[in-house]
Amino acid sequence: MMNNFRYLSTLLLLFLCVPFFGQNDNKNPKWSIALHGGAGTLSPNLTKERIKILENHMLEALSIGESILSQGGKSIDAVQAVVIYLEDCPLFNAGKGAVTNLQGIHELDAAIMDGSNLKAGAVAGLRDVKNPVKAARLVMDSTKHVFLIGEGASAFAKSQGLDIVDNSYFSTNQRREQNERIKKGAEEPCPVGTVGCVALDMSGNLAAATSTGGMSGKKWGRVGDVPVIGAGTYANNGTAAISGTGHGELWIRRVVAFDISALMDYKDYTLEDASKEVIFNKISPMGGSGGGIIAVDKNGNISMVFNTETMNRAWSKSDGTFGVGVIKGDDKSFKK
Ligand code: ASP
């Protein structure tokens, strides 16, 4: 009788304490954020000065996301704001500064995904929408659809009041010259400079966004992995938020972002192990020009795995630590 009483009172005590354990967790809410600005090979153009400029712009972009997350803002708003900054920055292959197709026309792709409800929005082949990630967000928030392409996507963006620009707005001298070299066969088409962001907010919600001009020298109408949900972009509160960069055809064929999430979901992989498994054991053997991912899990762990010589990357956490890097092994970490 006495034993039963002890057993029941212990159970009651545990039951009463559960809400307090929960509250305790909530007293120290965490946020994490990571971004990428594309992956690629080392080139003579990548001087120390250029690396510094890239790093400064990535840290500036990161600070926009940090300020949203540290004030209790949503991860979906943080990833969108960071990607808008990177789209407006001509150094990256997204928005202004995007590569062109072989005809010299910019066709832009973007996607965004909310891990709290698995809602997603994506656009492809946009020629005149200044910020494709804003169009992707509106597809998610204001339509019953996930993916709009080409003229229909542009018309939708216009109807929503987004900024519309001439296709030449996206051009830079560097991209025009690059396309000429590719047309003459003096340069290989390659994927470099796509942008993406992943974040965990203080409410435990994960989000991912990615934006790109695609692969340089691509065929008219080619769509890469970025707007294909599960290939270049994915978020699920139960696992992770992932944004990819690299040889998009491989990312589509291996469904990279979803595969990382699925390994965590079905096989209990850690984020780091799942990311390494997919990039090194699934993507690397396929050849091509490779690439990488940035990802954050539901506990705020960040993973930045790539099989290329470079990946522009930066990250930050609510504990005051942050970092930035361009070349493999050249990660700089700081504490505020
Ligand atoms: N993944 C992008 C694409 O293939 C390119 C990149 O990441 O730079 O469209």
Closest to 122 measured CA to CA, from 235, 219, 203, 40: 235
Closest to 261 measured CA to CA, from 251, 252, 271: 271
Q: Give, using CA atoms, the residue closest to atom 7 of ligand 1.
A: 245
* Tens of pLDDT, residues 54-74: 999 999 999 999 999 999 999
Q: Which of 247, 294, 308 to mutate to test the pocket of ligand 1 (most atoms within 8 A of CB)?
A: 247
DSSP string, 168-235: GGG--HHHHHHHHHHHTTSS-------EEEEEE-TTS-EEEEEEE--STTBPTT---STTSBTTTEEE
Q: Which atom of ligand 1 is nearest to the CA of 194?
A: 8
Q: Which atom of ligand 1 is nearest to the CA of 251?
A: 1
Average pLDDT over every residue of 172-194: 78
Total residue length of the chain: 336
The percentage of residues in the chain with a pLDDT greater than 90, rounded to a whole number, is 82
Looking from the CA of 13 toward its CB, the CA atoms found within 13 Å total: 6
**pLDDT at 8 > cutoff 60:** no
**Longest C-alpha distance within the chain, in Å?**
90
Amino acid at 168: S
Tell me which of 100, 194, 210, 310 is the catalytic residue. Answer: 194
Q: Which of 109, 212, 219 to mutate to test the pocket of ligand 1 (most atoms within 8 A of CB)?
A: 212
| pLDDT at position 11 | 47
**pLDDT at 6 > cutoff 60:** no
Q: How far apart are CA 178 and CA 168, in angstroms?
A: 15
Q: Give, using CA atoms, the residue closest to atom 9 of ligand 1.
A: 214
Closest to 78 measured CA to CA, from 13, 122, 34, 135: 34
Query: Long-range contacts of range 147-156, CB-CB < 8 Å, 24 or more positions apart?
Result: 147/121, 147/122, 147/123, 147/227, 147/229, 148/122, 148/123, 148/124, 149/123, 149/124, 149/125, 149/223, 150/124, 150/125, 150/126, 153/123, 153/124, 153/125, 153/126, 153/129, 154/126, 154/127, 154/128, 154/129
Mean pLDDT rounded to a whole number for the chain = 91
**pLDDT at 196 > cutoff 80:** yes
Q: Which atom of ligand 1 is nearest to the CA of 291?
A: 7
* Tens of pLDDT, residues 206-252: 999 999 999 988 999 999 999 999 999 999 999 999 999 999 999 99
How far is residue 166 CA from its own chain's centroid? 26
pLDDT, greater one: 22 or 166: 166
Ligand 1 pocket by C-beta < 6 Å: which residues?
38, 93, 191-194, 212, 214-215, 224-226, 232, 245-246, 248, 291
Q: Which atom of ligand 1 is nearest to the CA of 232?
A: 1
| pLDDT at position 22 | 34
> How remote is the CA of residue 118 from the centroid of ligand 1, in Å?
23
* Tens of pLDDT, residues 278-294: 999 999 999 888 999 99
**pLDDT at 1 > cutoff 70:** no
> How remote is the CA of residue 269 from the centroid of ligand 1, in Å?
26
| pLDDT at position 15 | 46
Closest to 60 measured CA to CA, from 89, 39, 94: 89
Amino acid at 41: T
| pLDDT at position 9 | 53
Please confirm, yes or no, whether 245 is among the known catalytic residues. Answer: no
Q: Which of 178, 195, 215 to mutate to test the pocket of ligand 1 (most atoms within 8 A of CB)?
A: 215
Confidence of residue 186 (pLDDT cuts 50, 70, 90): confident
**pLDDT at 261 > cutoff 60:** yes
> How remote is the CA of residue 296 from the centroid of ligand 1, in Å?
20
Spatial strand order in the sheet of 147-149: 147-149, 119-126, 108-114, 206-212, 195-200, 32-40, 310-317, 321-327, 332-335
Q: Which atom of ligand 1 is nearest to the CA of 109?
A: 9
Q: How far apart are CA 185 and CA 318, in angstroms?
A: 47
pLDDT, greater one: 289 or 147: 147
**pLDDT at 188 > cutoff 60:** yes
Domains recognised in the chain with CATH numbers: 29-330 (3.60.20.30)
DSSP string, 254-275: TTHHHHHHHHHHHH---HHHHH
| pLDDT at position 4 | 56
The percentage of residues in the chain with a pLDDT greater than 70, rounded to a whole number, is 90
| pLDDT at position 189 | 67
Closest to 183 measured CA to CA, from 100, 83, 256, 255: 100
Q: How far apart are CA 210 and CA 214, in angstroms?
A: 11
> How remote is the CA of residue 178 from the centroid of ligand 1, in Å?
16
